[in-house]
Structure 1
Amino acid sequence: MSIEKARAWLKKYDADSRIVEFPVSSATVELAAEAVGCEPARIAKTLSFRTNDGVILIVAAGDAKINNPKYKARFGCKARMLAFEEVEPEIGHAVGGVCPFGVNEGVTVFLDESLRRFETVFPACGSSNSAIELTIPELEKYSGFKAWVDICKGWREE
């Protein structure tokens, strides 16, 4: 089960005990915000894409949307999200619980600038009813991210 992969990954940082499992779904930004009790923007959603170099994850604020021209300028290809049935085999977590913890070998994680405006954010932890509250430095450390990117719109004045 994917929450166990995330839990094992976070255990390396003594953060596994901070995972919260909800009695309700947290599979969407809105449901997660309701379960956690925060504004939707503080949900750190993890989106999965296929690039010319392989599969990547973009962790972005809940109110941010991919800006296609910025994405193409950064990654050299059109933004192509993985199909529903590709997500779990490619990433290691199913849709609704995709997170940057305990992902499959070869998956590269990027963090979007939209997250930096918050002290803490809430990414999922491998299941459709889990989350963990992390500071931005913790998210950087625990996700093993490659780089910060600025590829989203809708969260600030453009």
Structure 2
Amino acid sequence: MSLESVRRYFATHAPDIEVIVTEKSSATVPLAAEAHGVEPEQIAKTICLRAGEQAMLVVACGTARLDNRKFKDRFGGKPRMLDAEEVATLTSHPVGGVCPFGLPAPMPIYCDVSLRRFDIVVPAAGATNAAVRLSPERLAALTSAQWVDVCREPVAATA
């Protein structure tokens, strides 16, 4: 089970970080922000992409959008979103719970600089109702992520 792989990951690598499971769904940025009492921008969404043959995870500010030109300049190809089945196969996590923790096999992980403006971000934790709270720097360190600039400036969420 995906949530269990994330719990095992944190038990081993960062036992001080609690996996928070809510009754409410946090499968989308607005739902996650509501469930965890933060602004949508603080949700660290994880996107599973492919550039050419290389699959990767990009973690970005909840309201940020990929910039195709920046992505292509950085990775040499246009970003292609993976479908739900490919995402589950590569990450073991369901869409809405995808995160860079507890993966079945190593894969490249990138954190977009849009996360750096926050002291705390809230990425999913392997289920559509689970998340963790941590600093962007800790997120990058725990996942051996590289920092990249591949998103457009975050847009404020609208009600």
Q: Shorter-normalised TM-score: what interval?
A: over 0.9
Q: Which moved more, 1:33-42 or 1:132-141?
A: 132-141
CA distance in 2, matches of 1:17, 1:23: 19
Structural RMSD (CA): 1.4
- Counterpart residue number, 2:76: 76
CA distance in 2, matches of 1:17, 1:45: 18
- Counterpart residue number, 1:152: 151
Cα distance per residue 1:89-145 (max 9 Å; x no partner): 022211010000011314210000000000010001000001110012221222221
TM-score, normalised to structure 2, is 0.92
Contact 1:27/1:129, CA 8 A, preserved across alignment: yes
Query: Residue 17 of structure 1: CA displacement?
Result: 5.5
Q: 1:137 to 1:29 in 2, by over 3 A?
A: same
Contact 1:8/1:16, CA 8 A, preserved across alignment: no
Matches within 5 A, 1:1-150: 1-15=1-15, 18-145=18-145, 147-150=146-149
Query: Residue 53 of structure 1: CA displacement?
Result: 4.7
Aligned length: 155
Unpaired runs of at least 5, structure 1: none
Contact 2:17/2:132, CA 8 A, preserved across alignment: no
CA distance in 1, matches of 2:52, 2:28: 28
One-letter amino acid of the counterpart of residue 63, structure 1:
T
TM-score, normalised to structure 1, is 0.92
Question: Helix, strand or coil: the match of 1:7?
Answer: helix
CA distance in 2, matches of 1:77, 1:9: 31
One-letter amino acid of the counterpart of residue 59, structure 1:
V
Unpaired runs of at least 5, structure 2: none
CA distance in 1, matches of 2:103, 2:148: 19
Contact 2:114/2:153, CA 8 A, preserved across alignment: no
Q: 1:76 to 1:46 in 2, by over 3 A?
A: same
CA distance in 1, matches of 2:25, 2:122: 14
Question: Which stretches of structure 1, 4 residues or more, deviate above 4 A after TM superposition?
Answer: none
Q: Which moved more, 1:119-128 or 1:4-13?
A: 4-13
Question: Helix, strand or coil: the match of 2:80?
Answer: coil
One-letter amino acid of the counterpart of residue 108, structure 1:
P
CA distance in 2, matches of 1:47, 1:86: 12
